[in-house]
Amino acid sequence: TEIDWKAYMQEVEGFTNGTLDYTQLKGDTGPLVYPAGFVYIFLGLYYATGRGTDIRLAQYLFAGLYLLNLLLVFRIYCRTNKVPPYVFFFMCCASYRIHSIFVLRLFNDPVAMAILFLAINLFLEDRWSWGCLLFSLAVSVKMNILLFAPGLLFLLLQRFGLLGCIPKLCICALLQVILGLPFLLVNPMGYLTRSFDLGRQFQFKWTVNWRFLPEEVFQNRAFHAMLLLAHLAGLGLFALHRWHRSKESILALLKDPAERKHPPPPLTIVFVLFSSNFLGVCCSRSLHYQFYVWYFHTLPYLLWCTPTAKLAHMPKVLLLGIIELCWNTYPSTVCSSLSLHICHGLVLLQLWYGTAPPLALHTPPPSRRPAAISKKAH
């Protein structure tokens, strides 16, 4: 289980030897394909674990990260007050795959997600500048955090308007420049193409979600373009009809925020960010086993954020169990990948229909005749 850990250590070891050309940083599993924040964080782990040799200590550190991640997630859930307490058991104890991703495989995905959840906690505290800084730091560890970016942009526009959100976006961009500066000065195109490669091909043997497709379709660029269009369409529909709850046009988000007196409530922040990420997961060109942590801790909220009857709790728990079973099937099969898509589709349908804006009640115009006064009123 130490294959990826050793590859990470080999990649940052090249940096310790003075290699600043990003195209020259590589390990046994291939070239380094993560942004610069990954290098600095795992460089710290490299030195803390005796140049990566003390894997047991690394596991203890990741176990601590796991507990910290749960604390941050629970704090978000306490603010939303939507998920019944018994569901937290499944989040803590019922996922072998998540335990493996954190403590057995030592992937960088949970590092990025823990920083992301810290950023969301800051957003809930109305500390948007610090939240944007932490969000950008999470992106610098792994690029999957960008799946939350459309939702964050919507929230920034909702909270600050067009002009007000520009400084927050500058914070995100400036941190990326600062972290990548040593590599940008040596080989800027090499750094950008390696760390932010949106067109990277994935190996079919590792896919969890598209196993039922022929490999030539899985690798086809037209298929990738179709998924991108589906992703953009989903974001557009949710932004117009589920995230935007005002009677005004969505273009009103560009106006001066002084017209909107109150910041978005915690429920809105979490719903927008979690659903934005989930739409990206559903339309991903490929999901590998470590990618489960991208959305595992958001699933209870996505399932219980809509009104739930007492009898509807068990189907939702069953849905969590089926998703877990799909991710624990190795190697993935036609049945497991199809089942995963069906579960994702059911969650999307619930989010769409369960969060529909209430219809405005028709109230008759007030009568011009004065109301009769009853004897009892006298």
Question: How many H-runs (helices) and E-runs (strands) does the chain carry?
Answer: 15, 2
pLDDT at 346 over 90: yes
pLDDT number for residue 197: 82
Per-residue pLDDT, averaged over 298-326, amounts to 90
pLDDT at 376 over 60: no
260-270, pLDDT tens digit by residue? 655 555 558 99
**Residue 140: CB atoms within 10 Å:** 26
% of the chain residues with pLDDT over 70? 91
Per-residue pLDDT, averaged over 199-219, amounts to 92
pLDDT number for residue 369: 46
pLDDT at 106 over 90: yes
The total number of residues shown for the chain amounts to 378
Name the residue with higher pLDDT: 28 or 166. Answer: 166
- Split at pLDDT 50, 70, 90, the class of 368 is very low
pLDDT number for residue 255: 82
- Split at pLDDT 50, 70, 90, the class of 355 is confident
pLDDT at 366 over 60: no
356 touches 244 (CB < 8 A): no
**Residue 301: CB atoms within 10 Å:** 21
Helices (H), 94-220: 96-99, 109-124, 128-141, 149-186, 188-195, 215-218
The rounded distance, in Å, linking the Cα atoms of 123 and 130 is 8
60-100, pLDDT tens digit by residue? 999 999 999 999 999 999 999 899 999 998 899 888 899 99
- Split at pLDDT 50, 70, 90, the class of 213 is very high
